[in-house]
Structure formats: C-alpha cells, structure tokens
Amino acid sequence: MIVRGRNERLLVRDIAHARAGDKGNTSNVNIWVNDPEDFELLKRSVTPERIKKEFPKLVRGKVTRYVIEHLHGLNLVMGEALEGGVNASLNLDSHGKSWSYLILGLTLDTGESATSSER
Amino acid sequence: MAKGNGTFRIGTGAGFSADRLDPAVDLARRGALDVMVLECLGERTVAFAHRDRMADPRRGYNTLLERRMRALLAPCREAGTVIITNMGAANPRAAAERTRDVAHALGLSGLKIACIEGDDVSGRLGNDQPFMDEPGTLADIGRPVVGMNAYLGADAIIPALQAGADVVIGGRLADPSMFLAPLMHHYGWQNSDLAALGAGTLVGHLMECGMQITGGYYADPGTKDVPDLAQCGYPLAEVAADGSAVITKLPGTGGCVNEATVKEQLLYEVHDPAAYLTPDVTADFSRVKLKDLGHDRVRVSDAGGRARPEKLKVTVGFDAGVLAEAGVSYAGPAAGARGRLAAGIVDARLKETHKIKSPLRVDLIGAGSLFATAGKTRNDSEDVRLHVALRTTNRDEAELMLWEVESLLCCGPAGGGGYRGVITPAVETKSILIARGLVKPTVEIFVT
C-alpha cells in the first residue's frame, strides 16, 4: 500500500497503471492498481463525476465506469471524448492514446485536503 | 498439427500494419508454431487501401506484404506453420497472387494459398442505412465512398483451413477471428460451444496487438521497467482444448509477460468487459482469471460467451480531402511568448486575411498540445514548436496554410526555425450494420 507523507501530493500513477484505446469518438482507459490494498483509493479517486469535472471541454459525452473487482481494475468509457475521433480530430494524438496519462496524472483523493491541491 | 504437449501453439507475427518483421522471423523459426497470425488492418488502413486500389488495381493490399512473405514463407513451411493474415486489405486476390509470386521466387512448390473474398459489400446497401453509434445515415456523408467492408468471422476462415491451406489471406477478417478459426478447426469447437468461442476470442483479443502484451506499449521508466525493449519478442499462446491458454514469448527475446501486461491488453479497446462483440460470439471477459506462472508465462482462463451479434459490422470509408500540418520551433528565453505570438499571427492570417473556414487548430508543442483541450498547459518551457493542423477538401487551402506558416521565418516572431510542412490524403470512416445473409464469403485456393 502506498505510504504518504503529510501534504504530499500523490498521483494515480503512484498506485496504478493504465492503457487507452479508441473506437470512433469514444475513448476507453483501463486502470489497474499495483497493490490490491489501494483499490478503494483508486475507486474513490477515479469516478465518472470527477472525469466530467476535470475535463469538461475534452470529455463531452457520458462517462461509464466498469469495475473489475477481482482483478482490481477499472474501465472508464468516455463518450465524445476524442475531439471527433481519429479521422476528424486535429489533435496531434488523434487516437487519444495519451489519455491514459491524463487519468494517471490525476491527484489521488487521500481524504485530507485532497481537493485543495487540485487546480 | 498441434506441436506442443497437447496444446495448440499460435504466435503473432504482426499486430498492426507497420509492425516489426525480424522478431516475427525469429518466432517462425524457433516457436514450433501451429499457426502464425499477422493482423495488419485497422478502420483507417482498409480505407487507405481502397484508395491505393483505385489508383492502381494491382495494389490495395498491405504495402509490406511482399517483404513479410519473403521472410516468413520458408521458415513457416519448414515448421509446418499455417499463416493467417488480413494483409489482403482492399485486394485479397492481388495479395494472394503476389504471395504466390514470392513463393515461386523462393522455390516453394505445392504451397496452398487461400484467398478469402466477400468482405467488400460496396453497392449492396441502400443510402438509408443508419450509422451504428451516431445519428445520421449513409446519405449524409456527401463525399465519395471509397470502400465498404464487412467484418468476416471464423466461419469465413475455417473452409480455407479445411482445404489444407498453408497461407490464408483475406481482407477485413476480424482480428480475434483469425485466432479463433484455427482453434475451432483444430479442437472441433462448434458455433454452439459458446464458452469455448469466448475463450478462443479472449486468446485472439490478447494476441492481436502483438507486443502490446509482451512489454511493448507498457514501459514507464521507474514504475514499469521492461528489459531489452529494443529486442522485444512477439507473443505466443499455448492453447488447451478448453480454450484456456498460457501467454508467453520466446526465451532470449526482450520484453516481459506478466499479470500487468496482460491486464492492460485485456480491456484494450473494450467497452463493457462482459460484452465484447465479434462476428463469432459475444465474449465475456468480466470474470477472466489470470495466474502469473513466472518466467514470462501467464495463464488465462474463464472467459465466457453468449450468442453472437445478429448483424455484422461494416466499415465505410470515404474521401475526406487532406490533412495539412506545418510547424516552426522557438527556443530560449520567452520561447513560449514568441510561440504564442506566432500562433496568433497564423490564426489571423488564415481566418481573417484568407477567409479559411475549414477546421483549423494551432498548438504549441512543449507548452500544451496533446492535453490542450483537457486544459493542461504550462508556460515555463524554453523549447516550443508551433504546430498548425488543417483539415480541408480544398487543396489550395492546404497549400496556403503551409505557405503562411513558412512565411513566419521572415514575417513572424524572432528566432523561429525548423519549418516543416506536409500534406497527407485523409479518409474518414463510419460504421453501419449489415444482415449476415447479404455477406457471402468465398475461398479460392492458389497452388504453387
């Protein structure tokens, strides 16, 4: 389990790994904790509501979260989240392959003053 | 067939159109494979292949086909390994003929090359067909359609295997179906054996992206270190009669296979883990069990299956004009400020001076590009690159954009350098559904 010092700002990347994929204008990012003890912290930190709040201009559609309890992973499916999709997007990364690191770059909701460290 | 202690051995020799070749040759030589699958087709690649075919009826297949066949036909024949591939893209017949030519040149006689056709359903559907996952119909496209390909499943591939083919070449063969078909053929699984079809589809899904399960696309220094990624090995699946499998790679190759590499691939491009749709089955990956056996071996089991989707998915590709991209770099003190000034100039010149209305985007690489829409930018970079992108069906607009960006070298902010500009043809794709009865796959065998 992740051990943190006071006031230390931890990222999802500190406890988990992820991969992004695309289908049309829908992006999915699967996220897995390295240590099962951190799974609750991941579930608390990466919610559909949070994704919508963090990236309102990018993730325009519905966000669905599938929980794979026994493998300690989440699958985020984000609608209208690829700026039109691989054929239409003008983003250099038109597949949104780097969206995995968008999620891994989120701060963890460690329960204490976590929201104050968010921009 | 079946070379490995009662298991059926399938290797991946390409996981996308431009994948590496030398590790495939290594796997063909040392893998004692029953089957090698080369998965080389995506939604965009098939549309581009149609454009190639329109320009030259002898083309339209994977541009690396000849090289791959020259390197793989002999070792696969020697090992008794059947090659299954969708490198035929928009022209499986030409791909099969080229493969036959390569076999002749290599002196391989008696080789059976199966050509699967029938995925091209152009002209078989009315304009009122609705899109699969967005509003609108084919009638709304308003641009020339370059190709329409239905995803063919295992049932299109099995007849080629029954005919004793050494090489099976098709166009839009669904990725996991190329792995499932030889398993169904070898183990005698029927369409009603849904759990087995789900299990075989899991194997296909895990294997279809090649090195994405052996450490490729996984490394992140400090948190996920991967040994010798430059010499990464392709994956190999040892599949049992119930569809459970061990995913591994050849000894002596770089990369790694562990629970984490398998997990990242398990839900790659998957939405609902309990409903992964293929032409063959609705596969259920939600209860899959993984067991790390050590030494780059992971056992996968417990995939499930339900009835296959009633209709087949069709990718419709159409001409979308061009994508024009151009850039100039700025470095040193206030590089970001100079880059932003350049961005404003280009924007004003294109939109106001030249009245261009096509979709335009201006990024500042180093200060915010990939994550710009997500709102993540920074201002402290001393090395930024202006990147301008324009999608247009008007070639003149594309050329004008490149000209304007290049003109920054004398008319823009101080210290800009390193102009590059490129215009590439663009295709767009949409998905629709087709009744299975309208798709009639065929198999023809060429013998060398």
Q: What is the tens place of the pLDDT at every residue in B157-180? A: 999 999 999 999 999 999 999 999
Smallest CA–CA distance, residue A71 to chain B, in Å, is 8
**pLDDT of residue B11 exceeding 80:** yes
Looking at per-residue pLDDT, the higher value among B362 and A113 belongs to B362
Of B223, B372, B387, the CB nearest to A13: B223
Question: Chain A contact for B374, CB < 8 A?
Answer: yes
Give the residue numbers in A contacting B (CB under 8 Å), as ranges.
Answer: 13, 17-19, 21-26, 28, 30, 32, 34, 54-55, 57-58, 64, 66, 68, 70-71, 73, 75, 77, 83, 86-88, 90-93, 98, 102, 105
What pLDDT shows up at residue B4? 58
Chain B residues touching residue A90 (CB < 8 angstroms) = 359-361, 389-391
What distance in Å separates the CA atoms of residue B397 and residue B323, rounded to the nearest whole number? 11
pLDDT in tens, B339-355: 999 999 999 999 999 99
Chain A residues touching residue B369 (CB < 8 angstroms) = 91-92
Mean pLDDT of A59-63: 97
**Using the 8-state DSSP alphabet, how is residue B166 labeled?**
S
Cβ within 8 Å, pair B370-A93: yes
Mean pLDDT of B111-139: 92
Q: Which residue of A has its CA nearest to B222?
A: A14
Strand partners, A20: A29
What pLDDT shows up at residue A6? 54
Neighbours of A35 (CB within 10 A): 12
What pLDDT shows up at residue B125? 87
Q: Which residue of B has its CA nearest to A78?
A: B271
SS3 of B301, please? strand
Give the burial class of A53: count Cβ atoms within 10 A of its Cβ; 0-12 exposed, 13-18 middle, 19 or more buried. Answer: exposed
End-to-end CA distance of chain A: 26
Question: Chain A contact for B375, CB < 8 A?
Answer: yes
Distance of alpha carbon B327 from the chain centroid: 28
Smallest CA–CA distance, residue B374 to chain A, in Å, is 5
* β-pair type (A73-78, A26-33): antiparallel
Q: Which residue of A has its CA nearest to B47?
A: A87
Query: In chain B, pLDDT over 70 holds for what percent of residues?
Result: 99
What distance in Å separates the CA atoms of residue B312 and residue B354, rounded to the nearest whole number? 45
Mean pLDDT of B267-284: 98
pLDDT in tens, B22-55: 999 999 999 999 999 999 998 888 888 998 998 9
Least confident window among B29-33, B131-135, B194-198, B271-275: B131-135
**pLDDT of residue B15 exceeding 50:** yes
Taking the CA atoms of B369, B374, B379 and B382 in sequence, report the sign of the dihedral they define: negative
Residue type, B333: P
Chain B residues touching residue A75 (CB < 8 angstroms) = 267, 270-271, 273
Please say whether the beta carbons of B322 and B426 come within 8 A: yes
Least confident window among B51-65, B121-135, B181-195, B263-277: B121-135
Smallest CA–CA distance, residue A103 to chain B, in Å, is 11
Q: What are phi and psi of A33, to 5 degrees?
A: -80, 150
What distance in Å separates the CA atoms of residue B446 and residue B114, rounded to the nearest whole number? 6
Q: What is the mean pLDDT of chain B?
A: 96
Q: Which of B424, B19, B436, B446 is nearest to B207 (CA)?
A: B19
Q: What is the DSSP string of B265-290?
A: HHTTT-SSTT-EE-SS-EEE-TT-EE
Please say whether the beta carbons of B24 and B75 come within 8 A: no
Mean pLDDT of A94-102: 97
Where in B285-439 does DSSP place strands (E)? 289-294, 297-301, 304-306, 311-331, 360-365, 383-392, 417-435
What distance in Å separates the CA atoms of residue B106 and residue B72, rounded to the nearest whole number? 11
Mean pLDDT of B84-100: 98
Tokens read off for B342: 């350049």
Whole-number Cα distances in Å, B19 to A12, A38, B38, B254, B304: 31, 36, 9, 16, 30
**Sequence-separated contacts (24+) of A93-98 with Cβ below 8 Å:** A93/B370, A95/A20, A95/A22, A96/A20, A96/A22, A96/A27, A97/A20, A97/A22, A98/A20, A98/B370, A98/B371
Q: With bands split at pLDDT 50, 70 and 90, how would you rate the model's confidence at A7?
A: low
What pLDDT shows up at residue B124? 87
What distance in Å separates the CA atoms of residue B240 and residue B387, rounded to the nearest whole number? 51
Please say whether the beta carbons of B157 and B103 come within 8 A: no
Tokens read off for B243: 């569809």
Cβ within 8 Å, pair A75-B273: yes
Neighbours of A20 (CB within 10 A): 27
Whole-number Cα distances in Å, B265 to B214, B286, B335: 10, 13, 39
Mean pLDDT of A72-80: 97
Question: Chain A contact for B273, CB < 8 A?
Answer: yes
**pLDDT of residue B156 exceeding 90:** yes
What distance in Å separates the CA atoms of residue B29 and residue B406, rounded to the nearest whole number? 50
